[in-house]
Amino acid sequence: MMDAQVSFLDQLFAKGVLHDSGVDGLYARSGEFEDVIARFEKFALTYGQDEISEAMVFPPGMTMQDFETSGYMKNFPQLAGTVHAFCGNDHDHMGLLQCMAAGDDWSKDQKPTQVALTPAACYPLYPILSRRGALPAEGAYVALQSYCFRHEPSKDPARMQMFRQREYVRVGSAEQTMDFRETWKQRGSDMMERLQLPHNVDVANDPFFGRAGKIMASGQREQELKFEMLVPITSEEKPTACMSFNYHMDNFGKAWNIRQADGTPAHTACVGFGLERLALALFRHHGFDTSKWPEGVRATLWG
């Protein structure tokens, strides 16, 4: 599997679809790669357009306080990134430059800021909803997009450290959120058909950390809280999750104090599209020249 990953990554570099930076998982994107992502986003937004109550786009960071509330450091500490900065005076700056000149590690003296990199696109939404008070009876249905960071350097081009997720998030009753997730599992398969990508939906778990994490992961699977849309990119045996369909029960409603109209904690569900992964799947299956992609795929994306 490793070889197929390296080989696909090398091809992406050779064709100029991505540009190497020297750090695994950190790549410049070509104009053509970005065009495919923009077209996929437009295509995704044709589904359920009249259901969306609001659209938002987030910057790549969220507040440290909201990041702490999310519980991410409990479950996935190994993947998170926090932002640190120099907070010294002229004298400290001289020391810093001497440290750099000597080739020593200067970054250990950086101080924490109030910013953490966003690990999942929907996290910054919940505190915003929380501040608005109880939801209306119809709940909320938000279309959003964000860059996300995960500290997992890899030669697999489908596992970047910085990547974008487009998401739909449903917030409301248990019934509203579970209906939403079922609808999107079907829409996701329809989208994959139209993009002519091999796919299947399967139950899944998040990469919970450590020994306790094994129990969390199996609980998540047993309760079928997470499904993934799997597409082979660098491996047939271990296909890549290009979409995920998640039901959080009322965990986020409780963590952020988001209330339904009747005052009980809101349930939440989200469908996430891994934009770089979907673009990579398209390049992998339809070739490096987008003008030669199958007619049906071109009609879907170029309209």
Stretch binding a copy of itself (CB under 8 A), from 143-151, 187-195, 227-235, 290-298: 143-151
Residue 162 sits in the site that holds a copy of itself (CB under 8 A): yes
Cβ closest to a copy of itself, residue 130 vs residue 177: 130
Residue 210 sits in the site that holds a copy of itself (CB under 8 A): yes
Q: What are the structure tokens assigned to 77, written together?
A: 């500490």
Residue 151 sits in the site that holds a copy of itself (CB under 8 A): yes
Q: How far is the CB of 94 from a copy of itself (least distance, A)?
A: 9
Residue 57 sits in the site that holds a copy of itself (CB under 8 A): yes
258-261's contacts with Cβ under 8 Å and 24+ in sequence apart are: 258/126, 258/129, 258/130, 258/135, 258/171, 259/133, 259/134, 259/135, 260/134, 260/135, 260/139, 260/172, 260/173, 261/134, 261/135, 261/136, 261/137
Residue 73 sits in the site that holds a copy of itself (CB under 8 A): yes
Residue 143 sits in the site that holds a copy of itself (CB under 8 A): yes
Of 49, 50, 175, 211, the residue at the interface with a copy of itself (CB under 8 A) is: 211
Q: Give the H or E element holding residue 72.
A: helix 72-75
In angstroms, rounded to a whole number, what is the distance separating the alpha carbons of residues 41 and 160? Answer: 19
Instruction: Write the burial class of residue 42 (CB in 10 Å: 0-12 exposed, 13-18 middle, 19+ buried).
Output: exposed
Q: How far is the CB of 38 from a copy of itself (least distance, A)?
A: 9
Residues between 113 and 132 that touch a copy of itself (CB under 8 A)? 113-115, 117, 124-125, 127-128, 131
Residue 147 sits in the site that holds a copy of itself (CB under 8 A): yes
Residue 225 sits in the site that holds a copy of itself (CB under 8 A): no
Residue 46 sits in the site that holds a copy of itself (CB under 8 A): no
Angle, alpha carbons 110-113-114 (nearest 5°): 165
Residue 2 sits in the site that holds a copy of itself (CB under 8 A): no
In angstroms, rounded to a whole number, what is the distance separating the alpha carbons of residues 217 and 211? Answer: 10
Residue 255 sits in the site that holds a copy of itself (CB under 8 A): no
Q: What are the structure tokens assigned to 243, written together?
A: 């979409």
Q: What are the structure tokens assigned to 183, written together?
A: 């609808």
Task: Name, in order, each residue with C-beta under 8 angstroms of 24's C-beta and a sequence gap of 6 or more.
Answer: 153, 154, 155, 161
In angstroms, rounded to a whole number, what is the distance separating the alpha carbons of residues 39 and 166? Answer: 12
Cβ closest to a copy of itself, residue 1 vs residue 85: 85
Residue 49 sits in the site that holds a copy of itself (CB under 8 A): no
Residue 98 sits in the site that holds a copy of itself (CB under 8 A): no
Please state the φ and ψ torsions of residue 54, each to the nearest 5 degrees.
-170, 150
Of 160, 225, 242, 280, the residue at the interface with a copy of itself (CB under 8 A) is: 160
Q: How far is the CB of 182 from a copy of itself (least distance, A)?
A: 25
Residue 30 sits in the site that holds a copy of itself (CB under 8 A): yes
Q: Give the H or E element holding residue 227.
A: strand 226-231
Of 3, 14, 46, 112, the residue at the interface with a copy of itself (CB under 8 A) is: 112
Residue 272 sits in the site that holds a copy of itself (CB under 8 A): no
Residue 252 sits in the site that holds a copy of itself (CB under 8 A): no
In angstroms, rounded to a whole number, what is the distance separating the alpha carbons of residues 282 and 36? Answer: 9
